[in-house]
Structure formats: structure tokens, C-alpha cells
Amino acid sequence: MLISSLIQQANEKWFNVQKKTTEGVQSAKDAVFRGGLIIICGILIVWISIFLYTAFYYAYMPSMTHVRPVHLQFKSCDKEKGVCSFPSAYVQLTKKQQLLMVGQPYKVNLELEMPESPANKELGMFMVCAQLRSRDGVLVKHACRTAMLHYRSTLLHLLMTLTYSPMMIFGALEEKQSIVLELFGNFEEDQSHPVTIVYVEIQSRHIEFYSATIMINAHLSGLRYLMFHWPILSAIIGIGTNLFFIVLICILSYLHFASEEENANETFNYEKGETEEEKDMILPGDLGSDTSSVEDTSLLDDIPKSQDDSPSLSSTDPVLSKSSYIQEISSLITESTKEELNK
């Protein structure tokens, strides 16, 4: 007996140890699974926040600079050398429907690269006109600006030539100037007539130049200015805001679904309890029906006795004088019992 009890206790202890180890392993598995799920969800939320900020940045921020070369053309003279018409050019900004962003101010500049030749020095001031046209040829805006070479005295020109002569000899520098003209200072795109063509005309037949370039620069302000000039700070704030709202939405969704599950479980338990109560109510009812049947039989047995004891009621009461089926059966039973007693 002692040995069997010791073996039983050892088996119980071993079973408890196995149970605890299995519970510990299962809890560790659950903890690892939940931790991995939380890490994956966190990484996914971070990437979604970065993607949303990147998409917003490229959708909200315009292209800062659009550069197009200007190939100026003129009509040459037949009888004498030189230019017999104003140099002009049509510059196609884009082949698409629209290049500039609606609601964003732009600065349209023309850069002229001109040599410091005697002709340009004697030219003095000259006029440059520009027109912005849509794809269908509608004139959107027109402007004219004056320009000239920067003045340098003979002594300054001589000193600069002597100073930079080694680089000029090797071709690193040239005797030229870049003239930048601001044709449109605060131009905003019209959505009904987007600009796709720029017409440029230099109103001088004696000008000399190397090249010309149209530059369209976005003039930023407000949030766009902050996002362009402080990209790291704006990225941190934008991604952090996206993270906050995404996490808030996830938490509210989790609480909502959890409350719905709790309500569903409560309703299920409530319905289950009602069904059990109905079963409990039905069982006493069945017993009551059985007892009522027994009581009915006992009453049937008592009917003849009551008739024997009170014959006057059957004679006086007109309702009771009418024999019913039960009374006939009871009378037959009483007669049979009397005959047996007489025997």
C-alpha cells in the first residue's frame, strides 16, 4: 500500500510538472506570436506613414525649375550683311496638356548670353517681349522688358583682362555677360487655358548673342516653402502625424470590434440561459400533468362515493340529474363491486 501510494503521488507530481511545462510553452508561444504580430503591424504602419507622406509630397510640391532652350531666328538681308528682322522664337514647353501647377505662382526669366563686343556696347538698351499662349493659340499673358549690358569702364575692363588673361588664353573664361530678364514675376496657371508655348522676340536688329534660355521657377510660400527648405523637419512632422492618426484609427477599430464580440457573447449566453430556463419550466409542467392525471383518476374513484352519500343532490339538481358518460361508467363500477360483495 505504501509503495502504491508513493507511486501514485509521483505520477501526480509528474503529471502536474508536464501540465505546467505545457502551459508555459503554450504561453511562450502565444507571447512570441503576439510580439511578432505587433512588430509586423508596427513596421507596416511605419511604411504606410512614409508612403502617404511621400505621395503627398510629390502630389503637393511642384517642380521647382523648368528650363527650355530658345532658338532665336531672324531674316537675313539680301543686299547687305546683318540682320533684317527682329530675332524671335516659339518655345514649346510641353507636349502634354499641362506643365505648370494650378494655383502656384511662377517666375518666368529669360537668360541671354551676350559677348562684350563693340556692337553690343554701342547697342545700349534694347527691348525683349514675350507672350504666353495655350495649345490652341489663345494669348494668356503678354510682357515686355528692357535690358542692356552691364557697364564697365575702360580701366576696369583692362584690369580684368590682365587678371583673367591666363584663364582666357586656356579657354576657361570668356569675355561675355549673362543677362537675366524677369519677364513674368508672379504668373499663375489658368486651368481653362494652360500655357504650353512661349513666344520670345528681341526688338533689335543689331544685337549679338551666343544663346538664350527660358527658365520657369516656382515661387514657393507657406507650407510648400517649409517643405522645400526644411525637408527633414517637415518629413518628421508629416510622418509622425500620419503615425498618430493611423494608430488612433487602429485602436478605435480594435475597441469597436472587441465591444461587438463581447455583446455577441453576452447575447449568446443570455439566449442559452433562457433555453435552459424553458427546459426547467417544462419539466415541472410535465410532472404536474402526470399528477393532474392521477388526481383525475382519484376524483373518478371518489365520484361514486359522493353519489352514494348524497343522492338528494342528483334528484334536486336538474343539471346533475342528466347522466353523463362519466356517471354511467361510475355506476357500472359500483354495481359490479356490490355484486362481488354480495357474493
Give 308's pLDDT tier (boundaries 50, 70, 90).
Answer: very low
Question: What mean pLDDT do residues 167-191 have?
Answer: 88
Report which of 233, 241, 224 is spatially closest to residue 49, judged by C-alpha positions: 241
Give 51's pLDDT tier (boundaries 50, 70, 90).
Answer: very high
Q: 127-131, 140-144, 146-150, 288-292: which range is least confident on average?
A: 288-292
pLDDT of residue 296: 45
Question: What mean pLDDT do residues 275-288 have?
Answer: 50
Question: What mean pLDDT do residues 77-85 have?
Answer: 82
The helix, strand and coil proportions of the chain, stated in percent and rounded to the nearest 5, come to 55, 20, 20
- Phi (first) and psi of residue 299, to 5 degrees: -65, -35
Q: 48-62, 118-132, 261-275, 276-290: which range is least confident on average?
A: 276-290
Percent of the chain with pLDDT over 90: 29
Question: Cell numbers of 19, please?
Answer: 501540465
Beta-bridged to residue 88, according to DSSP, are 73, 201
Q: Which domains does the chain have, with CATH numbers?
A: 65-219 (2.60.120)
Give 56's pLDDT tier (boundaries 50, 70, 90).
Answer: very high
C-alpha pair distances (Å), 271 with each of 72, 100, 259, 264, 292 = 88, 66, 18, 11, 31
- The answer to whether residue 271 scores a pLDDT higher than 50 is yes
Beta-bridged to residue 70, according to DSSP, are 212
Percent of the chain with pLDDT over 70: 78
pLDDT of residue 295: 44
pLDDT of residue 290: 46
| Category of 40 on φ-ψ map: left (φ > 0), alpha (ψ -120 to 50) or beta | alpha
Give 318's pLDDT tier (boundaries 50, 70, 90).
Answer: very low
DSSP string, 208-254: --SEEEEEEEE---THHHHHHHSHHHHHHHHHHHHHHHHHHHHHHHH
C-alpha pair distances (Å), 255 with each of 45, 141, 258 = 18, 58, 5
**Claim: this prediction has a pTM higher than 0.95:** no
pLDDT of residue 264: 73
- Give the residue with greater pLDDT, 283 vs 101: 101
Please count the other Cβ atoms lying within 10 Å of the Cβ belonging to residue 106: 21
Give 314's pLDDT tier (boundaries 50, 70, 90).
Answer: very low
Question: What mean pLDDT do residues 213-234 have?
Answer: 91
pLDDT of residue 285: 46
For 82-115, what is each residue's pLDDT tens digit? 788 899 999 998 888 788 888 889 999 999 999 9
- The answer to whether residue 300 scores a pLDDT higher than 80 is no
